[in-house]
Structure 1
Amino acid sequence: MKTSVVHYSRYLLLFGIILLPLFGKLETVPIRVWDEARQAINAYEMSKNHNFLVTYFEGQPDMWNTKPPFLIWLQVVFMKVFGVSVLAVRLPSAIAAFLTCVLLLFFSERYLKSFWFGFIAVLLLVCAQGYVHYHATRTGDYDALLTLFTTAGNLFFFLHCESKKTKYLYLFFAATALGVLTKSVSGLLFLPALAIYAFYSKQFLPLIRNKHFYVGLTGCLLAVLGYYGLREVYNPGYLEAVYQNELGGRYLTAIEGHTGGFWFYYDDLINYRFPEFYLFIPCGVVIGLASKEGPFRKMAAFSFLATLTFFLIISTGKTKLPWYDVPLFPFYALLSAITLYCFFTILKKSTLITSLFQWNPLPFLLLFLLFINPYKRMKDKVMNPVEASSDVELYEMGYYLKDAVKGKHPTQDRFFVFEGYNPHNNFYIHMLKERGVTTGLKEWSSLAEGDKITTYQKTIQQHIEENYHTTRMEEAGNIVTYEIQQRKH
């Protein structure tokens, strides 16, 4: 009985540790303008028009965001459950991150026969600045969900190569299909590594001779090509837009000025995204490949190959964005965990300590000392987020509208006037309308006497003050609410 309690308490400890970084205060930071707001509007419009094949933006088929809609479907489901809200937009990413942690633990226990290796790998993952971050687990973007499916696909493929069990092969194809239906070609970027590993492990010929390989491949192709084909039928021009946005156009040229050198992702990794632990990655590769234990050696070889191949692919692409490396973080965690687990095991086997005490605290003390500061920084980042100075003005209206949804600002019978691309603000206006508030957007060229107008942009405020007699009803920082009296002559 005592052993059983200890056994389950360690799972509760781990899940308690990861819940705060992954789920804590998901709604605190306003909707991000790139690209979360786009997905939020896509999901909102899908929930209204019930077109589950074609994503819409501002009433038109979205030909800029051409990703398949698996994430959007999940957001729509959560909107039906929780209402139109920031939580509904972000929960799929948070849950995907949680399931990725569960997957790492499952893999560690099933293949490596070690709970504590999985414990360490999960801690490394949830303390990674680049993983628990915007455009990953903390926002309603594709990358956390993509990472769940690419990680699952890779590990299931590896487990099939090791065990020859058919179920892992089918799970690999299912995860691959879901990865593509989440973020298009990004779901396929690990495939070269898997092909190389199949040759390396002498599993390539058995694989292509296996009838289940072709059954799984057929199912995967039917799901993916079926979606793309149907979307093109109902949304002509879609495939051309996909090519320009996601394939040759994005990889061969820098889209929207997102440039960077070959070492873009390496510099980002060591300076911000994994700064406390990045040196453990090469150490883990060396220790793992030198290990006398076959499972650790094979896992290290596979993880290193997957990491290196994916890293080279995104590094040679012309378009560089910080979140393109998010699918690498579970493998960074596995490789780094090899190093830490090596020291953990050495301390755990110390006979001197066990002769003096009933239990050996040293390995756990090591983990505490290594993770206490990174975890505290992650807790502060999640619970007390601070906008970058360059983003304060950009998201000022977002904070205002977030408070307005909570009733902290009067918005009944008031209209909002924005200039330019504002889906991050428009989503909150949809939220207000869903809560029965009479509000909406107005063009600044069609203001009328008696209108109550809220805006944050100086150009619009200047236009209103130069062309209308007004009363200022409310001021909150740069945000001003006017009541239009009459037009100046």
Structure 2
Amino acid sequence: MIRIFNTKPMDSILDFFERCYYIFLAIILMFAAFNLFYNLGNTPISSWDEARHGVSAFEMIKNNNYIVNTYAYSNDYWNLKPPLSYWAIIAGYKLFGYNALGLRFFSAVAALLTILVVAIFTLIKHGRLASIISTAVLTATMPYIIEHCARTGDADSIFILFFTLSIISMLMIEKSIGFLYCTGVFFAFAFLAKSWHTISIIAIVGSYLILSGILFKLKAREFILFLLSSILPIFIWGIFRFTQDGLIFFKTMIDFDLLKRTSTTLEGHIGSTSFYIERLQFGYFYWLLVLVSSVVSLTLLLEPDIVNKKLFNYILAIFLWIAVPFLLYTKAKTKISWYILPIYPALAMSLGGAVSGLLKSKKRNLVLQILLSLMLLFSFYKNEISIINMVSHNSVDNVQELIKELGSMLEYRGKNIYSLYKSESADNPDRWDQSYLLCSELYGDMVPKEGEIEDFLEDTTDKPLFLVPKNSKQTQKLDRYNLKVVLENKSAYIFSK
């Protein structure tokens, strides 16, 4: 007969995991590397944010201007981000060439660094078992890996790295005042990656410093240095940007990216007050089930006498880290699922700390240990299988493949190219599809031009090109002009004169 309070069998297994910590951590990081880098350059480039960032980074190189982001070689006042994420893409282009791997590489690197940061901090704070669990959870967090973040050329992965470093530095302030300045510097880097999304960091850090009482213990010199560390990197960028186009970029940042995005619904991104709860249920269900069960159980089993000021401050900080972004974006009118991505490192740390605490609690029993372990393994399995299926699926965009093939034809490199593939945005119906615009620039250094058939026909430059869908009625109009079919596949033609 199994005695439920005889925990020696499970205690031995847990002890084995802790003694072999570095081996298990290495195994989990191998999963992380697979999730992040496998097939990274083989999936089609996404229109909107990913393609837009890729265009800006490419054109910064071509313009030899690493401060002003352009789109189709005009100053971009729609994508109103500072340049840090573009610089990361530029570094990727320099390493791997002008392709999708170069576009995405440093997003994946930033995600891997974030996973490592979570592993190290949880090791310091909660011990080896918690570190293994937290690392596994973030590695197998599907929205973080798949959606607009770790495997795409967007700003989010780099932003979340600095977001996480800023809040973790905040958690270390009581050990050394130097961490206060690290909090500020990492905040500044997060701002330089994703602008006003750092309001969450301001709210978290400000609330924590006040509620924990740390703010009132700071000397005037320490507080001033903290403000300088937070503002100076942004101020330096701001001066360089101001010399390029004055106040127009900053004014548009405030009017559109801050005020309109929070007070009105932009670009059709609507949602109810339960929008982000539903997103968690959809993409984080199994981990959420483990987390809620663990936190409730740990709260019930918690010994009142172990709650001290340090533990209270830590719980307060983690709560703010999760609650503030969630509530801020729930309140905002524009709702997009990846806005709450910064909470996933905090959720992983919470889950690791809570489950580890339960498994090693004085009031533990064998049933609880087995049940929790099975829930963890099942959750990791379900999420990891979903991620593997997604990253292993080789989808193809025939039009992007056609443009890539065109880019290998030296006689057409650098030529003007027109397109009947237009943006899906109602605000810009005449603009290029953004992914095809980026492919034209990346693969063939071509110059995308706005216009229709008449504009292409009137183009007097050498060998202009025209990208046309095969199912387009406009194709029939081109028959009369005796144009040359440069390339075609089942989806599109590329014509030249």
Change (3 A) 1:240 1:25: same
Q: Secondary structure at the match of 1:257?
A: coil
Contact 2:290 2:376 in 1 (8 A): no
1:220 Cα deviation from its structure 2 partner: 2.1
Structure 1 gap segments, 5+ residues each: 353-359, 388-394, 485-489
Distance in 2 between residues matched to 1:347 and 1:463, nearest whole Å: 79
1:319 aligns with 2:334: yes
Name the residue aligned to 2:135: 122
Contact 1:345 1:363 in 2 (8 A): no
| Greater Cα shift, 235-244 or 464-473 | 464-473
1:200 Cα deviation from its structure 2 partner: 2.9
| Greater Cα shift, 223-232 or 454-463 | 454-463
Name the residue aligned to 2:57: 43
Name the residue aligned to 1:390: none
Q: Secondary structure at the match of 2:493?
A: strand
Name the residue aligned to 1:417: 418
Contact 2:54 2:438 in 1 (8 A): yes
Distance in 2 between residues matched to 1:43 and 1:483, nearest whole Å: 28
Contact 1:30 1:402 in 2 (8 A): no
Larger RCO, structures 1/2 (Cα 8 Å, 6+ apart): 2
Name the residue aligned to 1:102: 116
Contact 2:21 2:128 in 1 (8 A): no
Q: Secondary structure at the match of 2:440?
A: helix
| Greater Cα shift, 131-140 or 196-205 | 196-205
1:227 Cα deviation from its structure 2 partner: 2.0
1:335 Cα deviation from its structure 2 partner: 2.4
1:153 Cα deviation from its structure 2 partner: 0.7
1:12 Cα deviation from its structure 2 partner: 1.8
Contact 1:283 1:339 in 2 (8 A): no
Q: Secondary structure at the match of 1:177?
A: helix
Q: Deviations over 1:432-471 (max 9, x none)?
A: 335xxxx665653223898775432644743544643457
1:396 Cα deviation from its structure 2 partner: 3.7
Distance in 2 between residues matched to 1:32 and 1:213, nearest whole Å: 43
Name the residue aligned to 2:34: 20
Distance in 2 between residues matched to 1:384 and 1:92, nearest whole Å: 21
State the AA in 2 paired with 1:35: D
Given the two structures, how large is their TM-score scaled by the length of structure 1?
0.83
Q: Secondary structure at the match of 1:417?
A: strand
Name the residue aligned to 1:381: 390
Name the residue aligned to 1:392: none
1:342 Cα deviation from its structure 2 partner: 4.2
1:34 aligns with 2:45: no
Count how many residue pairs are aligned between Structure 1 and Structure 2.
457
Contact 1:61 1:235 in 2 (8 A): no
Q: Secondary structure at the match of 1:480?
A: strand
Q: Deviations over 1:32-53 (max 9, x none)?
A: 1111111111101111222122
Name the residue aligned to 2:97: 83
Name the residue aligned to 2:261: 250
Distance in 2 between residues matched to 1:451 and 1:225, nearest whole Å: 43
Distance in 1 between residues matched to 2:476 and 2:256, nearest whole Å: 36
State the AA in 1 paired with 2:399: M
Structure 2 gap segments, 5+ residues each: 1-15, 423-431
Q: What percent of counterpart residues are identical?
A: 22
1:245 Cα deviation from its structure 2 partner: 2.4
Change (3 A) 1:403 1:376: farther
Change (3 A) 1:326 1:400: farther
Change (3 A) 1:289 1:192: farther
Given the two structures, how large is their TM-score scaled by the length of structure 2?
0.82
Change (3 A) 1:167 1:463: farther
Contact 2:406 2:487 in 1 (8 A): no
Contact 2:36 2:145 in 1 (8 A): yes
Name the residue aligned to 2:286: 276
State the AA in 2 paired with 1:309: V
Change (3 A) 1:306 1:361: closer
Residue pairs, 1:65-464, within 5 angstroms:
65-112=79-126, 114-160=127-173, 162-163=174-175, 165-207=176-218, 209=219, 211-236=221-246, 237-271=248-282, 273-287=283-297, 291-292=302-303, 298-342=313-357, 344-345=359-360, 367-384=376-393, 395-402=397-404, 413=412, 416-419=417-420, 420=422, 421-433=432-444, 441=448, 444-445=453-454, 446-447=456-457, 453-456=466-469, 458-459=471-472, 461-462=474-475, 464=477
Distance in 1 between residues matched to 2:168 and 2:187, nearest whole Å: 11
CA-atom RMSD in angstroms: 3.3
Change (3 A) 1:86 1:348: farther
Change (3 A) 1:242 1:366: closer
State the AA in 2 paired with 1:397: V
Distance in 1 between residues matched to 2:297 and 2:410, nearest whole Å: 61
Q: Deviations over 1:397-431 (max 9, x none)?
A: 124435666x6xx6854975313322311222223
1:191 Cα deviation from its structure 2 partner: 2.2
Distance in 2 between residues matched to 1:451 and 1:50, nearest whole Å: 25
